Structure 1
Amino acid sequence: MKRVSFTEFGGPDVLRLEDADEPHAGPGQIRIAVRAAGVNPVDWRVREGQKLGAHPVELPAGVGLDASGVVDEVGEGVEGVEVGDRVFGEGSCTYAEFAVLGAWARMPEGLTFEEAAGYPSVVETALRIIGQVGVRAGQTLLVSGASGGVGSAVLQIARERGIKVIGTAGAANQDYLRGLGAVPTTYGAGWVERVRQLGHVDAALDLAGSGVIRELVELTGDPRKVISIADLGAPESGVRFSGVAGSVPEALAEAADLISRGKLHIPVEKSYTLADAAAAHIDSQAGHTRGRRVVVV
């Protein structure tokens, strides 16, 4: 099969589309013929060799955690899914023609493979960090870097739970945030004061890693009320860094339920081929995403 992989840590240029042996489903796993794979910041952070609290990466390594596709192998002990089912989920080395998933859910009706590939990790991350930061209905959550995939999920899940959200993003994405139920404001000079004018902040999430940890602690009054998924230096300020959690079937089931009920929609901003994986990483690292980027197989 064809697979995107790298033999050394580095920039996007280390990615290669190569021939590789097909993986096979082990106990508790399924294999899918991949139709699309989600592009996540963790993908290029791993490629660069960043230490994210996950398992050590052994080279050569594949790329990608999220995928959608058609089941073509079912491992020992797996029930409730059959060859031919359309699923989306989390696994490893998903920028490939075949991939093994450790967590999955059936694709909701009406969802395309491209759309489905954009949900798994971002929804798991959104659910995890909302829980970790401890924000509740009636409180206000500040989300720094709110227009990307995780931000899009956080805003909609928070709205469903009765949490008010203030979101920061570029000027071009203000209407996008407003459409997801957030009170938007721009980042850049004076952003802290602009947030203050919008009201008291009970908790905050750093999704972009743009050097705002000190200000988020200042706005919430407590480093324990701030979570970052993007700034590896956050713990130096007493702020928790929440890295990669791995496959969580419950999160996928909740994502499928929210999508089916029309409570969650994350648009696909751009699609790439396997051969263009480096370009996908370049664009992901540049930020300013509205929704998701996916690799189509």
Structure 2
Amino acid sequence: MKAVQITSFGAPDVLRVNDVDRPAPGPGEVLVSVEASSVNGHDVIVRAGELKMVSGRRFPIGVGLDFAGVVVATGADVAGYRAGDRVWGMVHPRHRHTTGGAAEHVVVSTDRIAHAPAGLSPVDAASLVVAGATALIALRDSVHLAGGERVLVRGAAGGVGTAAVQLAHALGGHVTALARDRHAQLLTDLGADEVLDYGSTTSGQIGPFDVIVDTVGSELNCYRSRLAKGGRMVTVGLSAGALAAIAASSVYGARRIRTFSANPDTAVLRDLAGHITSGALRPVVDSVYPLEDIAAAHEAFERGGVVGKHVVAVSA
């Protein structure tokens, strides 16, 4: 089978589409024929070698966190899934040696998948696994957004950002989206009450906010200062500078900068599907690339300006 692998750290051109043996599911696992996967920031920084402490230096490393596809085989002790079921899910970031989601087949534990929402194409489903789950965990579990609170979504036009705008609106927040001015109409359609152009708006000009969801990972202290009394902030844009700011912010107690590792389990994926079924959350796909062009997808991600998600179509 075909699988995208990293055999050395570096730029997108280190990505290789290699022929590998098809894996077999063990106890509690299923084998999924992957139809689509998406490009996530985690994939990019692992490929660049910025997470060696997590990914390790043992090659090859599989590429792709998320996937949507069809169950083709089950291991022992699997209940609730059978061949032919359409599923979506996420490969654990530490379990991606040889293959990840960007492969024709992937083996995954049943606690990291759920039945895919009815009516979504594989491309649309793959676009929402990591982005949607990250936004949901951030808003619901990390900062506990309550109805009527003022929420800022920074980097609102990206994958996590577009999901966060929609979910914050669905949870009853008054949503301010910070993004490029040309995305104002899209973000308004997704539920933003106000859209600010990040090119002409500084952190000192806005707020205060009860909740800030940051997807960028820079100027974190400047934005943290725009929290209202009792406000909470979470960032999913991690870098060395961001980690330092997060650690330093602990002196502010409840008004510190929070972060988390988005590893959605079945329960989160089911909750996410509920928001999709209710109409509160819809996919936003920037572009779709064939598996063979995944390097181009990574290049496009790194150029920035993405609206929603770049998705890799693995099979028809």
TM-score with structure 1 setting the length: 0.91
Corresponding position: 1:101 with 2:108: yes
Corresponding position: 1:214 with 2:224: no
Deviation at 1:55, TM superposition (A): 5.5
Give me the CA root mean square deviation: 2.1
Corresponding position: 1:236 with 2:244: yes
**2:142–2:258 contact (8 Å) kept in structure 1:** no
Change (3 A) 1:192 1:111: same
Deviation at 1:53, TM superposition (A): 7.7
Alignment-derived partner of residue 192 in structure 1? 203
Distance in 2 separating the partners of 1:52 and 1:166:
36
Matches within 5 A, 1:148-297: 148-182=158-192, 183-196=194-207, 200-209=208-217, 211-220=218-227, 225-232=232-239, 233-237=241-245, 238=249, 240=257, 242-297=259-314
Distance in 1 separating the partners of 2:7 and 2:53:
21
**2:6–2:59 contact (8 Å) kept in structure 1:** yes
Change (3 A) 1:224 1:24: farther
- Give the paired residue count: 293
Change (3 A) 1:137 1:52: farther
**2:147–2:173 contact (8 Å) kept in structure 1:** yes
Distance in 1 separating the partners of 2:42 and 2:49:
10
Matches within 5 A, 1:76-91: 76-91=76-91
Deviation at 1:214, TM superposition (A): 2.1
Q: Aligned partner of 2:179: which letter? A: A
Distance in 2 separating the partners of 1:281 and 1:100:
24
Identical-residue share of aligned pairs (%): 34
Alignment-derived partner of residue 71 in structure 2? 71
Alignment-derived partner of residue 26 in structure 1? 26
Deviation at 1:134, TM superposition (A): 3.2
Alignment-derived partner of residue 140 in structure 1? 150
For residues 178-220 of structure 1, the C-alpha deviation after alignment (integer angstroms, 9 at most, x for no partner) is 1111121111243325424xxx3112121023x2212211111
The DSSP-based 3-state class of the residue aligned with 1:129 is: helix
Query: Which moves more between the two structures, 223-232 or 61-70?
Result: 223-232
TM-score with structure 2 setting the length: 0.86
**2:127–2:285 contact (8 Å) kept in structure 1:** yes
Change (3 A) 1:57 1:180: farther
**1:149–1:292 contact (8 Å) kept in structure 2:** yes
**1:66–1:89 contact (8 Å) kept in structure 2:** yes
Where do 5+ consecutive residues of structure 2 fail to align? 250-255
Deviation at 1:36, TM superposition (A): 0.7
Where do 5+ consecutive residues of structure 1 fail to align? none
**2:46–2:55 contact (8 Å) kept in structure 1:** no
Change (3 A) 1:167 1:278: same
Alignment-derived partner of residue 126 in structure 1? 135
Distance in 1 separating the partners of 2:152 and 2:79:
41
